[in-house]
């Protein structure tokens, strides 16, 4: 037990996490990791001479379970005579208003609420911001999972570093600390057992419909059967990439200063540098423009790099309605002022769907109905273009309804070969002006089917299928077309 505490102490010293008289807020969700962190930070309080507080955010998305977590955190703070800070946010309303998933909204609101609470505390007492620190309980397993998830989504070097021991939160400039990155999840669980300390359990953490949970429960154990130190080695590689990236970033910033002008970057100058350096400079360009890197991956940076050598007025679309476009001398980043049909994201929690119950959703001009049921081999698969059957067991993250995104792909061949959605729309002769209005049924980043079109080969019913998700899509009003067409806007005259 003392070994774990000493390990964390040494890690905090090495990474210069705290100074005497710091105000350290421990983010306690009530789960095993955060409870273990709080206990160890209490043990180290005298050693580092910091003032320890507990902070908890109640998200308003899990009803009584969420309220029970908040009560647990409050009781734990009271038992140990620690100041308690409880923040409450409305994730469902925020997610709906800003058209994002509840998971993304919860993370945004959680850090926003904690920063506001800590800044308010500092202001009331006249403390400088640099005395305020926030500790979260991410550990080595979390870091390895994050690196692999970033790798799967096509991240560049800066995204393949795993989690950092400390970083600055914006806009508050409060320092975020991760003192548990030196520990495995099993270390924390064993510590709590030895201390006979209870904690809360979040039922959603066991649902493999979420990508991270699937990676944690299914993939990571397989990797550790191949190498028992797989997690440690992944994290070591992340640290090595971080060190190289920090060196390269310094050089990239210097190049950026050379090629940057008021309205963009000089294309001809940037093209004199090697591609790998240009990619890092383009990343600095995005960061400096105030757009950040949220949802920007290596694919987007590579597309921007390709654009550098294209003609004047050529442009590409980026996430968040951003456009990178060429002027006569520069590349500039602007916001797309032409609004597209954006009906947000509707998440369908397939894992919690009751058998044979119909769930209805409204998205834009469409009504989508979903039903989960056991397969009856006597029933034939429907051939209607607006009714699709998909293999429930092949759905990993849970279904969602959304519009198309840059880089979307769909499996069109039985061997898993995919094609871009853009190419698919062109081949199917779906008018360009209608493509943003069509609902996509997706499984995370994978397109499962397009309204009125084909189902991805990866989700089709096979002889092994045991459970089925039926999705029926109905359009509620007609498009105005100047030629005979179906509800997707695709021509249906004799020529086709």
Q: Could you read off the pLDDT of 297-350 as tens digits, one per residue?
A: 778 888 899 999 998 888 888 877 788 899 889 999 887 644 444 467 888 877
CA 236 to mean position of chain CA atoms:
23
Which letter, b or e, does each residue of 483-492 get, where b requires 16 or more Cβ atoms within 10 Å of its Cβ? eebbbbbbee
- Let me know the angle formed at the C-alpha of 488 by 486 and 489, rounded to the nearest 5 degrees: 70
Query: Residue 425: which pLDDT band, with cuts at 50, 70 and 90?
Result: confident
389: Cβ contacts below 8 Å, ≥ 6 apart = 381, 382, 455, 461, 468, 469, 470
The answer to whether residues 172 and 115 touch, using CB atoms and an 8 Å cutoff, is yes
The reply to whether the predicted model has a pTM over 0.85 is no
Of the ranges 70-84, 132-146, 338-352, 386-400, which one carries the lowest mean pLDDT score? 338-352
* CA dist 147 → 155, 157, 211 (Å): 9, 10, 13
Strand 84-88 to 51-58 pairing: parallel
Question: 3-class SS at 297?
Answer: coil
Average pLDDT, the chain: 86
Q: What is the pLDDT of residue 292?
A: 65
- Percent of the chain at pLDDT exceeding 70: 93
3-state secondary structure of 1: coil
The mean pLDDT value for 146-151 works out to 92
DSSP secondary structure of 124-178: HHT--GGGEEEE----HHHHHHHHHHHHHTT--GGGSS---SEEE-TTT-PEEE-
Q: Which residues is 167 bridged to in the sheet?
A: 176
Query: Residue 49 in contact with residue 156, Cβ under 8 Å?
Result: no
């Amino acid at each position: 037990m003392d070994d774990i505490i000493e390990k964390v102490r040494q890690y905090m010293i090495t990474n210069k996490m705290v100074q005497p008289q710091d105000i350290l807020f421990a983010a306690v969700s009530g789960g095993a990791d955060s409870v273990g962190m709080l206990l160890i930070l209490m043990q180290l309080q005298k050693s580092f001479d910091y003032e320890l507080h507990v902070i908890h955010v109640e998200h308003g998305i899990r009803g009584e379970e969420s309220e029970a977590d908040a009560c647990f955190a409050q009781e734990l703070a009271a038992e140990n005579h620690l100041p308690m800070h409880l923040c409450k946010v409305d994730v469902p309303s925020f997610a709906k208003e800003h058209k994002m998933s509840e998971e993304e909204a919860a993370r945004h609101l959680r850090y926003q609420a904690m920063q506001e609470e800590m800044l308010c505390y500092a202001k009331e007492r006249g403390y400088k911001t640099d005395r305020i620190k926030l500790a979260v309980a991410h550990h080595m397993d979390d870091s390895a999972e994050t690196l692999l998830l970033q790798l799967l989504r096509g991240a560049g070097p800066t995204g393949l570093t795993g989690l950092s021991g400390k970083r600055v939160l914006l806009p508050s400039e409060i320092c975020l600390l991760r003192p548990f990155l030196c520990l495995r999840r099993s270390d924390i669980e064993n510590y709590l057992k030895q201390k006979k300390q209870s904690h809360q359990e979040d039922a959603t953490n066991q649902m493999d419909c979420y990508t991270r949970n699937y990676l944690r429960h299914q993939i990571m154990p397989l990797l550790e059967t191949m190498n028992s130190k797989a997690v440690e080695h992944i994290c070591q590689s992340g640290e090595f990439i971080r060190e190289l990236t920090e060196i390269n970033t310094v050089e990239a910033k210097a190049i950026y200063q050379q090629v940057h002008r008021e309205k963009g970057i000089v294309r001809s100058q940037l093209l004199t540098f090697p591609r790998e350096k240009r990619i890092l400079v383009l990343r600095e360009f995005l960061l400096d423009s105030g757009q950040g890197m949220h949802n920007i991956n290596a694919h987007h940076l590579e597309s921007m790099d390709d654009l550098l050598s294209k003609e004047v007025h050529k442009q590409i679309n980026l996430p968040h309605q951003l456009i990178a476009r060429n002027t006569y001398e520069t590349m500039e980043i602007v916001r797309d002022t032409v609004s597209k049909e954006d009906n947000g994201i509707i998440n369908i929690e397939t894992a919690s769907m009751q058998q044979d119950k119909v769930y209805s959703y409204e998205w834009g001009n469409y009504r989508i109905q979903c039903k989960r049921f056991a397969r009856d081999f006597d029933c034939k698969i429907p051939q209607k273009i607006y009714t699709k059957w998909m293999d429930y067991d092949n759905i990993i993250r849970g279904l969602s309804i959304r519009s198309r995104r840059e880089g979307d792909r769909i499996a069109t061949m039985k061997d898993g070969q995919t094609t871009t959605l853009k190419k698919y729309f062109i081949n199917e002769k779906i008018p360009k002006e209608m493509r943003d209005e069509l609902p996509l049924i997706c499984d995370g980043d994978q397109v499962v089917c397009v309204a009125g079109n084909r189902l991805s080969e990866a989700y089709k019913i096979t002889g092994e299928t045991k459970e089925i998700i039926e999705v029926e899509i109905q359009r509620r009003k007609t498009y105005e077309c100047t030629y005979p067409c179906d509800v997707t806007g695709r021509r249906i005259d004799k020529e086709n």
